Every structure is written in C-alpha cells, then in structure tokens.
C-alpha cells in the first residue's frame, strides 16, 4: 500500500468568511491567493498533483452591487478560480449574473419555489444564445440553499457561521479507483475510496497544522475529467449500462460509500456530460437521453450538469419544475448547469474552450425518430385508431 500512487487533487479551495460589518475586501482575497499558493506547494511536496486552486466567497448581501463584485476579478490573478456565492431567485441582481460569468467568475441561483422558474428559463435561454461559453460558470440550485460548503463550483458559498478561512479538497480519482481495485465490485470500490480519502485527509491535516489554516475536509464526490470517466467506472463496478434500470442499485451503493467517506459538500456521483468522454459518446450516439439523465437525478447529485440542450423556453420551464420537485423529494441540493442552443440548431453539439466538443443531449423522442423506430412501429402495427 505504501507503493500506491497518490490520487490526484482536483482542487484546493479556500473558503473566505465575511468581514465584520462588510462583505469582503480585496486585501482578504489577496491573502487567500497567497495562502492557496502555500497549501498547493506543501501538498505537492508530499507527492500530490494539484490541478487547480479556488476561492469561495460568502453570498453577497443585498447592499453589495454587481459592479463591486466585478471589481474583484480585475485585481486578482485569473489563474485562481473564484466563486462569489449564491443569489436567491427573486434577487434583482441575478439579471446581471451573466456579467459575472463573462468575467471568469462563478455563481449560482438558489431556487426557493416555482414562482420564478418561468422567468429563469427565459433568462438562461437568452444568456446561452448570446454567449454560450459563459454558461459553464452559472448554475441553478433547486433546494434554495445560499450557503453550502464544498470545493465544487459553481454551487458553493462560504457559510455565515465561519469565523476564519478554511480549506477543502476535491479529488479526481475514477481511474485511480479502477487501478486500485482487485476486482470490479462495490466492496473493492469502497476499499479504494476509503484508502484515497484517508490518505489525503492525513496529509491535508498535516499541511493544515504546518500552515495554520484549518482543514474542513474532503468532498468525496466522484467527478470526471474527460478520459477519467465516472460513467465508465460505474458501469464497470455494476456490470450495467448507465441508462438502464439495473444501474440504479449500483448508484445507490456507490453514493452510500461516498456519503460516509466525505466530510463536507455533496459526496455523491456527478455526471457532467461535457466533462466525461464516455458520457459524450453515449449522448452523441443517442443511447443516453435527457429523460435518462432526469431519471438519474434522484440517485446522483448532478444528473443534469454540463449538458447541451435544444429546448424551447416552455420545455426548459417544465424541466426546471421537474428538477425542483425532485430536489424537494430528495431533500438535498440538486443542480442544473446547461448550454441551451436554438431548437433548430444545425449542428450535433458545440465546441467550448477547455471542454472541447459537447454533444447535444437529445430527447428520447428525437432518438426514436432518428433511428426510424417510429416508422417501423407504424408499419408493423398500423395507424392508431381511436374510437
């Protein structure tokens, strides 16, 4: 075990609390950038590869303008990702969240009820049609939670109870788990996850004591990056196809492992289509449809993450209502992050910087039409006659 290669650290994230009688200052963010640099260096010296460093801010109070938020990005190194917290769906400032995203910062909208979903559908559709590349930095969160401690963007915000900066860690480890299982099974998956999390926890605590920056914990969520595929790992462990019902028990078992392994955040399976090569293949082939992903959302956190869709505003509104109801039923945070393209979009997907080609996730009815199944059914059974 001592010879095992270290799992990759996807990100080190510093959560910065509000200052007394204020929201946040540029100097405190500059201090956070310096602290992240020290944390990264210390963990790299312990043999880890660190992919990114991130800063999370508390939700901006009502008196904080969008212009003040935009001023942060102009003064901070763009090599550090910044999340500015959540905004309720009735906050007038959300009309300018596209400006925050255009300036390379992340934010999300916390949906409290159905009342504003129609307006949100139109707003997100307009932003996406105008500037599709910014939609990777904006999300909806359907439980209405404005304070959520996790290293995963965009749905993250420093909680108000924090009195000092703390750091958290996320891992990139689907392939690491595959390499460290004796055989593909839930028990071997569980053993590999616990070894990875325990190992990083131990070293992160040592670094915390060395740097005098408290370590809040690991979000053990399974999240992919291209060939490091969560979908392929799930199918391997469960000997199932992700879009079929027989993968549901595996998702449940895997999430049970993750929920007990992590200390902060989501600790669930993540299926961002635009970040998983295997999911991209399934979406492009039409074997994984929008209905399949919606069907998976009760069992994994972000079944609708990094999806390219060709929906009307009315269809998007219906989708949002469904996701909100699932979040209420699940009683956990549930997100949406998508790139909406025109219903008559001529291409099979869209190419975005960093993410490459993202295929459109089709409706099941579209995949049936494409395969000619409707025509074959009609010829086989004849027209439907309603008496």
311-351 pLDDT, tens digit each: 999 999 999 999 999 999 888 889 999 999 988 888 899 99
Name the pLDDT band for 74 (thresholds 50, 70, 90).
confident
Indicate the length of the chain as a whole number.
387
Q: Which residues pair with 276 in a beta bridge?
A: 226
CB 82 within 8 A of CB 55: yes
270-288 pLDDT, tens digit each: 999 999 999 999 999 999 9
Which residues have C-beta within 8 Å of that of residue 282, sequence separation ≥ 6?
231, 242, 243, 288
Report the alpha-carbon distance of residue 10 to residue 202 in Å, rounded: 17
Name the pLDDT band for 380 (thresholds 50, 70, 90).
very low
Name the pLDDT band for 3 (thresholds 50, 70, 90).
low
CB 157 within 8 A of CB 146: yes
Phi, psi dihedral angles at 62 (to 5 degrees): -55, -35
Q: Sign of dihedral through CA atoms 305, 307, 313, 314?
A: negative
30-65 pLDDT, tens digit each: 999 999 999 999 999 999 999 999 999 999 999 999
pLDDT over 90 (residue 214):
yes
Name the pLDDT band for 186 (thresholds 50, 70, 90).
very high
Q: Which residues pair with 350 in a beta bridge?
A: 358
Q: Two tokens at 157?
A: 């915000």
Four-CA torsion 326, 329, 333, 339, nearest 10 degrees: 0
236-257 pLDDT, tens digit each: 999 999 988 889 999 999 999 9
DSSP labels, 269-307: BEEEGGGBHHHHHHHHHTSS-HHHHHHHTTTSTEEEEEE
pLDDT over 60 (residue 382):
no
pLDDT of residue 364: 85
pLDDT over 60 (residue 385):
no
Report the alpha-carbon distance of residue 123 to residue 218 in Å, rounded: 34
What are the structural domain ranges in the chain? Answer: 8-373
CB 167 within 8 A of CB 13: yes
pLDDT of residue 105: 97
Lowest mean pLDDT among 182-191, 192-201, 298-307, 323-332: 298-307
- Give the chain's mean pLDDT: 91
pLDDT over 70 (residue 304):
yes
Report the alpha-carbon distance of residue 333 to residue 109 in Å, rounded: 12
- Residue matched to tokens 């009688």: 21
pLDDT of residue 387: 29
Name the pLDDT band for 73 (thresholds 50, 70, 90).
confident
Q: Two tokens at 156?
A: 């993250």
Name the pLDDT band for 368 (thresholds 50, 70, 90).
low
76-134 pLDDT, tens digit each: 877 899 999 999 999 999 999 999 999 999 999 999 888 999 999 999 999 999 999 99
pLDDT over 90 (residue 20):
no
CATH, domain range 8-373: 3.20.70.20
Which among 68, 55, 136, 56 is positioned nearest to 96, based on CA atoms? 68
Report the alpha-carbon distance of residue 100 to residue 341 in Å, rounded: 21
User: Residue 246 CB: number of other CB atoms within 10 A?
Assistant: 11
pLDDT of residue 365: 75
pLDDT of residue 303: 59
Of the chain, the percentage scoring pLDDT greater than 70 comes to 93
pLDDT over 50 (residue 379):
no
């Amino acid at each position: 075990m001592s010879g095992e290669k270290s799992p990759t650290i996807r990100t080190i994230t510093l959560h910065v609390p509000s200052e007394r009688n204020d929201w946040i200052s540029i100097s405190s963010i500059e201090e956070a950038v310096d602290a992240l640099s020290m944390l990264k260096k210390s963990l790299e010296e312990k043999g880890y590869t660190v992919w990114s460093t991130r800063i999370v801010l508390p939700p901006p109070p009502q008196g904080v303008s969008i212009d003040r938020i935009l001023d942060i990005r102009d003064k901070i190194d763009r090599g550090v990702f910044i999340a500015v917290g959540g905004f309720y769906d009735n906050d007038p400032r959300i009309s300018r969240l596209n400006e925050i995203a255009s300036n390379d910062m992340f934010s999300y909208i916390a949906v409290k009820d159905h009342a504003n979903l129609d307006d949100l559908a139109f707003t997100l559709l307009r932003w996406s049609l105008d500037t599709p590349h910014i939609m990777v930095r904006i999300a909806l969160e359907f439980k209405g939670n404005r304070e959520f401690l996790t290293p995963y963007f965009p749905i993250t915000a420093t909680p108000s109870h924090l009195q000092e900066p703390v750091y958290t860690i996320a891992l990139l480890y689907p392939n690491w788990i595959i390499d460290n299982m004796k055989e593909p099974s839930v028990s071997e998956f569980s053993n590999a996850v616990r070894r990875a999390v325990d190992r990083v926890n131990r070293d992160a605590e040592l670094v915390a004591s060395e740097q005098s920056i408290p370590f809040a914990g690991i979000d053990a969520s399974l999240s992919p990056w291209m060939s490091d595929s969560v979908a392929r790992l799930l199918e391997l462990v469960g000997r199932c196809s992700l879009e079929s019902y027989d993968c549901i028990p595996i998702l449940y078992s895997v999430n049970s492992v993750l929920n007990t392994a992590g200390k902060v955040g989501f600790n669930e399976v993540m299926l961002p289509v635009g970040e998983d090569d295997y999911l991209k293949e399934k979406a492009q082939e039409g074997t994984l449809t929008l209905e399949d992903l919606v069907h998976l959302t009760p069992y994994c956190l972000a079944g609708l993450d990094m999806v390219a869709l060709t929906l009307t505003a009315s269809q998007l509104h219906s989708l949002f209502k469904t996701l909100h109801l699932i979040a209420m039923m699940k009683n956990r945070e549930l997100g949406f992050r998508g790139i909406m393209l025109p219903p008559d979009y001529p291409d099979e997907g869209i190419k975005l910087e960093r993410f490459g080609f993202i295929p459109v996730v089709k409706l099941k009815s579209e995949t049936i039409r494409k395969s000619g199944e409707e025509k074959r059914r009609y010829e086989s059974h004849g027209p439907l006659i309603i008496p």
